[in-house]
Amino acid sequence: MLMWIIAFLWLALDQITKHTLPLFFNWYESTELIPGLLRITLVKNDGAAFGFLSGRSGLFIIVAIGFIVFLFIKRDLFLQSKITRIGAPLAGAGALGNVIDRIFFGYVIDFIDVPFFSIFNVADIGIVVGIGLLAIGFYQLERDHKDVFDNS
């Protein structure tokens, strides 16, 4: 149940920010929040991270839906670790949030602007943090599994 709550809340946060910010900010104009560190800059991104593979929304939709289906099919695997129970819904909700944008707008709305890095959104944070947590969780599960067999 916790996994569904995390996924719903993260997806809701992502969609609320993407639908609310354009009401208050202009596209492609920056508003500085923390000088030199953080701005709000609304952009339309039809590519992947850093605008890579621009114009390939169909490909990104297929890959993201495949990833979400994989997470759903393997959901019992993610229940084996506290870390993966958080990582899977974050990554899945992030992927779904960007798919929703691509289907309804034809692009992803990005707005968190870290000047020395990139412009991204709440969904992207979920994807990156979620996949990181999944990697750590799977590593721990594999390590624990090997320890069981090594000590027999």
Instruction: Please say if 124 is a catalytic residue.
Output: yes
**Cα separation, 130 vs 73, whole angstroms:** 17
Write out the E strands in 25-150: 30-34, 38-45, 108-114, 118-120
Catalytic residue among 14, 101, 113, 124: 124
Contact 84, 78 (CB under 8 A): yes
Tell me which of 14, 101, 110, 113 is the catalytic residue: 110
Q: Which structure tokens are listed for 86? A: 């958080």
**Considering only CA atoms, which of 67, 24, 28, 66 is closest in space to residue 45?**
28
Could you give the CA distance from residue 123 to residue 18 in angstroms, rounded to a whole number? Answer: 10
Of 67, 83, 73, 72, the residue nearest 144 (C-alpha): 83
Name the residues annotated as catalytic.
110, 124
